[in-house]
Amino acid sequence: MTDPFLKLFIIIIGYVIVLFILRFLGFGKKQVCENCNNCCPDCSFALKRIQRKKQDKIFYHLTLRIFNLKRYRCAECAWQGLKWEEKYRP
């Protein structure tokens, strides 16, 4: 277990597993409520799509593009952040 490449490999595998667990748990996923199909986590008002920032694109690649991340903003409480949705619905 002193091989640095093996350690790096284990870290990468662990990172990928954590990402898939977060995806499975629906972490950062779009929230659906009775008012809309994408609502604010703070006030349940409908979110509006806004342009992604440079760091959002870096983050998107760092998470191995398994999250279909888009930036949204709430018009009511000024909440802003990234949300993702599943590309294909069953």
Q: Which residues bind Zn ion (CB under 5 A)?
A: 40, 42-43, 45, 74, 76-77, 79
Nearer to Zn ion, 69 or 74 (CB): 74
* Nearest residue (CB) to Zn ion, 59 versus 79: 79
- Tell me the closest approach of the beta carbon of residue 18 to Zn ion, in angstroms: 28
What minimum distance in Å lies between the beta carbon of 69 and Zn ion? Answer: 19
Angle at 69 between CA 88 and CA 13, to 5 degrees: 90
**Quick one: CA dihedral 41, 46, 48, 49, positive or negative?**
positive
In DSSP notation, 40-55 reads: -TTT-PBEEE-PPPHH
